[in-house]
Chain A
């Protein structure tokens, strides 16, 4: 029973990592850059939804849609202002810019919304008064948030796989990812393709923000930072650039973290997570599902 409840906790934590990791991996796979500001876009999404629902008394669904719209705009604007001018620059330059954007968003949020924590509403996914399914006479409770997160994660993964594999835009994205110059020669608009990638990534971030804060309702300007890093780890774990990899990486990370806390020690959970990551990368340098592309010399 205890094992089952830890399993559920791990799965729901993991699915939140996975949904964030999908955004990371999407942007990395196409634009070949690590968007470290992704975690902070999550935070912005959660704040937008928080104020829409508690401040303006809008229904949750409208709040979520509003968060998605504003985050999409934010993502595209960030890309235009901060990353596009650096398209030809070294990847390290872009990486550091991304860290700068991350700090900008955190401190901007602190000015706008103050550093004091807000408590995110947790009733979005309730059915009536009930917060979850109770099994075995109260021995095990599975919250609806966890179920929604896991299901949504699967749906998003399937949709993204279909989108990048079958649609015209998705093919253009994959082409850009292989070779920007060549795809431009083939008549693909590289700039708008990359903007599209950021739009999708940021929309996912908004969804992740709402789900994360529904499950763990403390909302602060730094809320997105740590989960962002964990999700990045998950993306690398699963093979960065691979969409199913991000899902598997996220779920595994959540499970390892929870089981370490439960059966080894609460103090070392992060250390164990990263130790596993190192071992995986030693054995499979491209991550679990990543494609290893040798440099041709």
Chain B
């Protein structure tokens, strides 16, 4: 409590100091001067949870983007420098709005974020009304982009992920009978599951059972697993977060049921749970756009920089963030006089670039990524399997 007070006080002081600086500050040199010959800068404002229950995701997107910004600013022949500010929204929509207003006062050109779906839907309406271009690294619901021409996604939409998973099962002939376990109290999990089930129906894969659980605090999955086992499911699709998934794997092992388990990108992180026996996850498939162990040069370079800076292996959220910054950087370069434009003109110009057929980005999370008019990304999903306690590309 006391710590919070001190923190609040420090922040308040810092804020008033910066206000003073603004008041007296016409003579203060703008940071772009250090960019050398590149006179103009682009202000990218990020929003995501740096504290609170979903801080893991926000911190990753902030750090991944930071690495891209540092790379671009360190380039000799950069088109322009980037100023980057990331505001904490604690994963809550109300806080995200104040974070967004802070960034608007700062004079933001492009919004990068938000990390999680709930706040992103709110911020998307705001940016749509204000005509500011927005690219989210990881808010995956279709509701984020629906009806908002200025909002684009770097991640797959939830139903899309389900469809991709079903296609993969069909193409590789992994199974003809599948069971689905998902959290029906969670929009992410439900979205993927429904996309998967619908696609299975059209591909002729038999879904023997659809099992749900109400919240991630659920601990007993024996009933759901028994239903899958009795239905003869050779593969269990579970688009759920890694915490409940670790319990599913443990309980399946205890009851001697050994189907192929297949998860979505929320499964990423399961190998890092302290004390988790990774042997239980052996053979687990998961859909992720990013594999940190890949030997691809770009990925290896990113992973090395990230590890040096933050002491941990980056996950897909960090990679999405890195790609977002490069996508914005590449798109802005294609616009003549982009840096002299106001936000609304830049927004319209960026929409035109992102939706044009010849604009594509090669990033960590996919090669040749393009965007549709509705804001969804088109890229290949990567299926990785857990092998000897690490990810291996399939």
User: Which residues of chain A are within 8 angstroms of B213 by Cβ–Cβ distance?
Assistant: 266
Are B275 and A50 touching (Cβ within 8 A)? yes
Select one of A119, A134, A143, A216 contacting B220, CB under 8 A. A216
Q: Is A191 an interface residue (CB 8 A)?
A: no
The reply on B106 being an interface residue by CB < 8 A is no
Q: Is B194 an interface residue (CB 8 A)?
A: no
Is A117 in contact with B243, judged by CB distance below 8 angstroms?
Answer: yes
A122 and B222 contact, Cβ closer than 8 Å, known pairs A115-B53, A226-B217, A267-B184:
no
Whether B226 and A262, one on each chain, are in contact in the complex, defined by CB atoms closer than 8 angstroms, is yes
Interface pair B255/A218, CB less than 8 Å apart: no
| Given A9-B220, A226-B217, A267-B212, A2-B226 contact (CB < 8 Å) | yes
Q: Is the CB of A216 within 8 A of B274?
A: no
Nearest residue, chain A, Cβ from B184: A267
Q: Mark B259-285, 1 if CB is under 8 A from A, else 0.
A: 000000000000001111100000000
Chain B residues contacting A9 (CB-CB under 8 Å) are: 220, 222-223, 226
Select one of A5, A122, A219, A227 contacting B250, CB under 8 A: A122
Segment 273-305 of B: residues with Cβ below 8 Å from A: 273-277
Chain B CB within 8 A of A120 CB: yes
* Bound complex: CA A267 to CA B254 (Å): 24
A141 an interface residue at 8 Å Cβ cutoff?
Answer: yes
CB distance from B17 to the nearest CB of A (A): 30
Whether the Cβ atoms of B275 and A267 lie closer than 8 Å is no
What B residues does A50 contact at CB under 8 A?
Answer: 275
Q: Is B224 an interface residue (CB 8 A)?
A: yes
Q: Are B254 and A122 in contact (CB under 8 A)?
A: yes
Interface string of B194-214 (1 = CB under 8 A from A): 000000000000000001111
**CB-CB nearest in chain A for B224:** A266
Interface positions of B from 215 to 235, Cβ below 8 Å from A: 217, 219-220, 222-224, 226-227, 230
Interface: A121 (CB within 8 A) = yes
Cα–Cα distance between A287 and B184 once the two chains are bound (Å): 33
Interface string of A93-127 (1 = CB under 8 A from B): 00000000000000000000001111111100000
B255 touches A5 (CB 8 A): yes
Neighbouring A residues of B243 by C-beta, 8 Å: 117, 218, 220
Docked CA distance A74–B16 (Å)? 45
Shortest distance between the CB of B296 and any CB in chain A (Å): 28
Question: CB < 8 Å: which of A2, A119, A120 contacts B230?
Answer: A2
- Are B254 and A141 in touch, CB under 8 angstroms? yes
Shortest C-beta distance, B149 to chain A (Å), equals 37
State in angstroms the CA–CA spacing of A227 and B217 once bound together.
Answer: 10
Name B3's closest neighbour in chain A (CB-CB): A111
Q: Which residues of A contact B246 (CB under 8 A)?
A: 117, 119, 217-218
B68-102 with Cβ < 8 A to chain A: none
User: Smallest distance from the beta carbon of B227 to chain A beta carbons, Å?
Assistant: 8
Q: Tell whether B24 is near chain A: CB-to-CB under 8 Å.
A: no
Which residues of A sit under 8 angstroms from B53, Cβ to Cβ? Answer: 115
A285 contacts partner chain B, Cβ-Cβ < 8 Å: no
Residues from chain B with Cβ under 8 Å of A119 in the complex: 246, 250, 273-277
Q: A residues 120-152 with Cβ under 8 Å of B?
A: 120-122, 131-132, 134, 138, 141, 143
Query: Looking across the interface, which residue of chain B has its beta carbon closest to that of A225?
Result: B217
Decide: A117 and B273 in contact? CB cutoff 8 A.
yes
Instruction: Decide: A118 near B275, CB < 8 A? Known: A134-B256, A216-B247, A218-B247.
Output: yes
Does A261 sit at the interface, judged by CB under 8 A? yes
Instruction: Pick the residue among B56, B223, B244, B251 that contacts A261 (CB under 8 A).
Output: B223
A184 contacts the other chain (CB 8 A): no
Contact call A6/B226, Cβ cutoff below 8 A: yes
A258 interface residue (CB < 8 Å to B): yes
Alpha-carbon gap, A262 to B212, bound state (A): 11
Residue in contact with A270 in the complex, picked from B56, B214, B223, CB distance below 8 Å:
B214
Residues in B whose Cβ lies below 8 Å from that of A266: 211-214, 223-224
Residues of A within 8 A of B273 (CB): 116-119
Q: Smallest distance from the beta carbon of A121 to chain B beta carbons, Å?
A: 7
CB proximity to B under 8 Å, residues A247-297 = 257-258, 261-262, 266-267, 269-270
Name the A residues within 8 Å of B223 (CB-CB).
6, 9, 258, 261-262, 266
Output the least CB separation between A52 and chain B (Å).
12
Selected contact of B219 from candidates A138, A216, A258, CB within 8 Å: A216
Question: In the assembled complex, which residues on chain A have CB atoms less than 8 Å from the CB atom of B251?
Answer: 216
User: What residues on A are CB-neighbors of B250 within 8 Å?
Assistant: 119, 122, 217
The interface residues of chain A lying within 8 Å CB-to-CB of B276 are 119
Query: Inside 8 A of B212's CB, which chain A residues have their CB?
Result: 266-267
The residue that B274 contacts in the complex, of A116, A226, A261, with Cβ under 8 A, is A116
Question: Can you list, as one digit per residue, whether each of B173-193 has a CB less than 8 Å from chain A (1) or not (0)?
Answer: 000000000001000000000
For B211, list chain A residues within 8 Å (CB): 266
Q: Is A13 an interface residue (CB 8 A)?
A: yes
Q: Considering the chains assembled together, what is the distance between the CA atoms of A297 and B153 in angstroms?
A: 70
Q: Which residues of A contact B214 (CB under 8 A)?
A: 266-267, 269-270
The residues of B that contact A2 with a CB separation of less than 8 Å are: 226, 230
Cα A206 to Cα B243 in complex, Å, equals 23
Separation in Å of the B204 CB from the closest CB of chain A? Answer: 26
Instruction: Kindly identify, within residues 194 to 240 of chain A, every residue whose CB is under 8 Å from any CB belonging to chain B.
Output: 216-220, 222, 226-227
Closest to A1 in B: B230
B227 neighbours in A (Cβ, 8 Å):
262
Closest chain A CB from B242 CB (angstroms): 8
| Chain A residues with CB under 8 A of B247 | 216-218
Taking CB atoms, residues of chain B closer than 8 Å to A267 are: 184, 212, 214
A138 near B256 (CB under 8 angstroms)?
Answer: yes
A–B Cβ pairs within 8 angstroms, 13 of them: A2-B230, A5-B222, A9-B226, A50-B275, A115-B53, A116-B273, A119-B273, A131-B253, A138-B256, A141-B255, A218-B244, A220-B243, A267-B214
The 4 closest A-B pairs by CB, nearest first: A119-B276, A216-B219, A119-B275, A9-B222
A116-B274, A120-B275, A141-B255 known; 19 new pairs, CB 8 Å cut-off, are A6-B222, A9-B223, A50-B275, A54-B275, A116-B56, A117-B246, A118-B275, A119-B276, A122-B250, A141-B256, A216-B219, A217-B250, A218-B219, A218-B243, A218-B244, A222-B217, A261-B223, A267-B184, A270-B214
